Amino acid sequence: MGVKERRALEKELRRNQILDAARKLLFETGMKAISINKIAQEAELGVGTIYFYYKNKEEIFAALQEEGLKLLYAKIENIYQNKKKPDKKLKEMGTAYLQFSEDRKDYFDIISYFLSSSEVIFPLNLKTQIDLSGNKILSLISSTIDDGIKAGIFKAVNSRRFSIMFWGTVHGLVQFKKLKNTILNGENHNEIYQYSIDSLIDGLYSK
């Protein structure tokens, strides 16, 4: 490994240290109680090192949010690029979101934390940056619906609005998993989740 590659690896390791520390503190104390000093202590790094990579704690949490969205985008894009019919792709996209919440719970929890927050956490430039990552995912869902409309499988709908409804619905359904001992007592969450996705897609079919 050359000097350039070694330095790049070291930078990546430092970033991961910072992000892992910030993620841990977020769920222990909430964002308001977190400072750069606390992140540095948790990461066992100097404060100056933190500031070398990020201007403030908002940039750190925006980076966490973006990383999660990029991982999710890669899963959805992989489904979009396959040769299956649009309705099959859409169902797989819905299933992939549930899998993402289980396989990458660390990033899913970050996304959920900021989605559910009633406060304005990020300044406009960071919010815009994060929203662009989210919009890329919505665009893939929307394109899948448009492909289905063009193929005569789906009826004509506003694909952008449907994609927002689709993502919002599956996100809410994932959260319902927490209610397994109350509302979902005696029910199979995965079966309800799949039933809901099928019902959404059934509403798209051209009669």
Read off the pLDDT band of 89 (50, 70, 90): very high
Residue 21 lies in a domain: yes
Question: Which is more confidently placed, 71 or 126?
Answer: 71
Nearest to 169 by CA among 196, 142, 134, 147: 196
Residue 207 lies in a domain: no
pLDDT tens digits along 126-157: 788 788 888 999 999 999 999 999 999 999 99
The pLDDT assigned to 117 comes to: 59
Residues 37 and 102 in one domain: no
User: What is the average pLDDT across 56-81?
Assistant: 92
Judged against a pLDDT cut of 60, whether residue 120 lies above it is answered with no
Residue 160 lies in a domain: yes
Residues 23 and 103 in one domain: no
Residues 65 and 47 in one domain: no
Nearest to 166 by CA among 120, 198, 206, 133: 198
Residue-range definition of the domain harbouring residue 68 = 59-202
Residue 50, domain CATH:
1.10.10.60
Per the structure, the count of domains in the chain is 2
pLDDT tens digits along 16-30: 999 999 989 988 888
Residues 73 and 116 in one domain: yes
